[in-house]
Structure 1
C-alpha cells in the first residue's frame, strides 16, 4: 500500500494527530510515513504501525505522497521544509507550526506549491481540539476535504479564508486553553479561601468547568441562556455575577487579554 501522508516531526502534537488518524481508520498504518530524527519519538510512532525513518533521504521506496504535514518547531521549519521541495508539484503541504505564514512556505517550496496552514490547540491531544485551517489558491478541493477529514480526528475543524485572521485565532483558541487552566486555578484558590480542603476544591473547580463546557457544547443553547437558567433573582449566583459582570469587569479583562495575545501574534509573524 502506497504512502499517502508524510508526517514530518512526531512530537506531542504530531503523535496525537497520527494516533487519531490511525485509531479512526482514516488511514492505514502503512499509508503513513513518519520522519523523526529522535529515536525515542520515532520508535513510539513505529509502535503504532507507521513506516518510520530518521530523514526523508533514509525513507525506502519511490514516494509520491498526497499530503506532507509539517509538525516541527518554527525555528527549524525553513531548513526542514526545504528537504521536501521535490514533492511540491504533486503534494499538498499542511503546516501546524505556530507563527509561520503560508508565504514562508511558498518562498521555500515555490509559488505553485499547495499550502494549508492549521492552528491546533493542546486539547487536540485527546481528540477535543479546535483546528482552524486556511489554504492558498493552489490547494484543490479534494485535498481540502481529505485534510479536513484527517484533522477532524483531533477535534472540531473550522475554515477561514483570510490568513490575517490567524492572529485572532491564535489569541482565542490557540492560547485559550491556558486562560481556562488559569480560571481553574483561580476557582480552586477561591474555593480553598472559602474553607474547602485543597483536593475537594480542585475537584469542584475542574469538574464544574468541564461540566459547564460540555453542557454548553451539547445542549445547543446560547451560553447566555444557560447562564440565565442557573441564575435565580437575588440568589447566590446573581450575587457572584454582579461581581464578574458589573461594569463588564470580566468581559473587559478577557477582551484585553485576547487583544494582547493577538498583538503579540502579529509581532511574532513579522
Structure 2
C-alpha cells in the first residue's frame, strides 16, 4: 500500500517525529521516501541524523514530490504554509492537516480539487500509543484515506469520523491525556499519603491505568463490567468506589470533557 509512496512533512516538530518513527518502525516505507521541511536547520539536522530522512528548508521541494503530505504545523502559520504548497500539490496527492481548528472547508477552498484530510492526534503518539481521529474531505475516498490511516495506525489507533464530531474528539482524546496524567498524579500522591515511596506510587498508579485501559481495548467488555469483576461485596474496592461517587469524580470528568469540547468549538469559530 505504501511501498511506492513518498511521504512529506511540512513542520518537523513532535508530531512529525512521532509519525516518522512509527512509519519506519513499522517498515511502511524507507527513510529515503520521507522528506521533511522546517524553518529550523538544527531540527532538520536532528531528524536527518536520527532517522536518515531527506530534509530541506524549502517547502515546495517537499510538497511537489509527496504523494502524502502532512501539514504538521501550528494553526498560527497554516495560512502561509498552505499558500506555499497549494500550487505544487496535485489531485494525485493527499494533504493531511493536523492543525487544530482548521476546517475541511478552509483547506478545500485553499486547495480546490485536492484530496484533504483533517486529523486530531493526541500526545501519546510519541510513545506509539496515540489516538487519532480523521475526517475526510469531499474529494477524499476511502481508498485514498487508507494509506493515511495505516500511517496513523503505526503510532496508535485511528478512527474515521464526521468533521462535526472533531470538537468532541478534542474533548475526549485530544485533552484526555491531561485528565489521565492528573489521575496518575493524584493516585501517586495518595500512595505517598499511605506510606509508599514516590517512585513506587507513580509506578503503581501509571501501570494500573495502563493495564486497565488495555483490558478495555483487548477484552471488548464494557468498563462497568470490568469494574464489577474487581469489586467484591463488602470489599476494599467498593469502599473506594463509594467515595469516588460521593465526591462526584464521574460528574467532574463528564463536565471536563464538555468544557473542553465547548472551548474547542469556540476556538474553531475564531479560526
How far the C-alpha of 1:113 sits from its partner, in A, is 2.4
Map of 1:253 onto structure 2 = 252
How far the C-alpha of 1:246 sits from its partner, in A, is 4.1
Map of 2:134 onto structure 1 = 133
Count, aligned residues: 265
CA–CA separation in structure 2 for the residues paired with 1:56 and 1:198: 47
List aligned pairs for 1:84-233, cutoff 5 A.
Answer: 84-86=85-87, 87-110=89-112, 112-160=113-161, 162-233=162-233
How far the C-alpha of 1:3 sits from its partner, in A, is 6.4
CA–CA separation in structure 2 for the residues paired with 1:104 and 1:81: 10
Map of 2:14 onto structure 1 = 12
CA–CA separation in structure 1 for the residues paired with 2:246 and 2:199: 31
Report runs of 4+ in structure 1 exceeding 3 Å deviation: none
CA–CA separation in structure 2 for the residues paired with 1:220 and 1:105: 36
Does 2:59 match 1:56? yes
CA–CA separation in structure 1 for the residues paired with 2:224 and 2:5: 47
CA–CA separation in structure 2 for the residues paired with 1:80 and 1:124: 23
Distance 1:250 1:156, change over 3 A: same
Q: Could you list the runs of 5+ residues in structure 2 that have no partner in the other structure?
A: none
Indicate conservation of the 8 Å contact 2:108/2:137, yes or no.
no
How far the C-alpha of 1:123 sits from its partner, in A, is 0.7
How far the C-alpha of 1:88 sits from its partner, in A, is 4.2
SS in 1 for 2:154: helix
How far the C-alpha of 1:195 sits from its partner, in A, is 2.7
Q: Which 10-residue stretch deviates more, 37-46 or 179-188? A: 37-46
CA–CA separation in structure 2 for the residues paired with 1:261 and 1:24: 33
**Taking structure 1 as the reference length, what is the TM-score of the superposition?**
0.92
Indicate conservation of the 8 Å contact 2:123/2:177, yes or no.
yes
**Taking structure 2 as the reference length, what is the TM-score of the superposition?**
0.91
Indicate conservation of the 8 Å contact 2:149/2:158, yes or no.
yes
Map of 1:265 onto structure 2 = 264
CA–CA separation in structure 1 for the residues paired with 2:198 and 2:91: 58
CA–CA separation in structure 2 for the residues paired with 1:98 and 1:187: 31
How far the C-alpha of 1:89 sits from its partner, in A, is 3.4
How far the C-alpha of 1:30 sits from its partner, in A, is 1.7
